[in-house]
Chains A and B, each alone.
Chain A
């Protein structure tokens, strides 16, 4: 069975600084998709960024970028120029190309220090 591991339950970063959230996953599949979702306090979960396993180029969305290491089964999220609005729970998620199940990690709570 596939698993997703986020080893950092909580992290803090100074406003305007850069922070990296870690995610590793375990799968025997070669075709899959990886996602980072953000859940702000008392608000809906939203997508931050996504990556196809067959694409070697790391995805980037404005201040958010990933470091995808397929051989190491690692998918970290880098947030540059951290802003107060980035404070949230961040979830790493995995979905096999041949399945509809979306598997989430336990999440990392990110605090932004003013």
Chain B
């Protein structure tokens, strides 16, 4: 069983609120990722990190920010939630090595009302 955890699993929040989605892994992986999964199930990369203090934006323009202060922790923050942010957010991690697979968390389903 992959040891990558996302909290909360479900969140309903009002427009304009600041929220942080948590992602933690206990595998010591240096690469971590955030994907937004739309209702059609397509995955869009929004942020990734290849180690502590390194973060990159993905292909999907996002109003979110991330930080990577510790290897095991990769939180995603929305400063001001909007209904367009309603989606499922998946966190993943990958170990060192060229051919390693990504391990995924169970996801956070966010609804902004």
Contact present for A44 and B48 (CB under 8 Å): no
Contact among B2, B42, B43, B56 with A44 in the assembled complex (CB-CB below 8 Å): B2
Are A101 and B98 within 8 A (Cβ)? no
Contact A91 B101 (CB under 8 A): no
Residue numbers in A under 8 Å from B85 (CB-CB): none
| Chain A residues within CB distance 8 Å of chain B | 1, 33, 35, 37, 39, 43-47, 50, 52, 89, 91, 93, 97, 100-104, 106-107, 109
User: DSSP class of A's interface residues: helix, strand, loop or mixed?
Assistant: strand
Q: How far is the CA of A45 from the CA of B81 in the complex (A)?
A: 26
Residues 22-40 of B, flagged 1 when their CB comes within 8 A of A and 0 if not, give 0000000001010100001
CA distance A106 to B40 in the complex (A): 8
User: B66 contacts the other chain (Cβ, under 8 Å)?
Assistant: no
Contact A46-B48, Cβ < 8 Å, known A100-B31, A106-B41:
no
Contact A102 B102, CB 8 Å, known A91-B43, A107-B42, A109-B41: yes
B58 adjacent to chain A (CB < 8 Å): yes
Tell me the bound Cα distance from A93 to B106 in angstroms.
Answer: 19
A89 CA to B31 CA, complexed, in Å: 24
List, in ascending order, chain A residues with CB within 8 A of B59's CB: 1, 101, 103
Would you call B45 an interface residue if the criterion is a C-beta within 8 Å of the partner chain's C-beta atoms? yes
Pairs of residues from A and B, 8 with the lowest C-beta to C-beta distance, nearest first: A45-B104, A104-B43, A47-B101, A106-B42, A107-B41, A100-B50, A44-B104, A44-B106
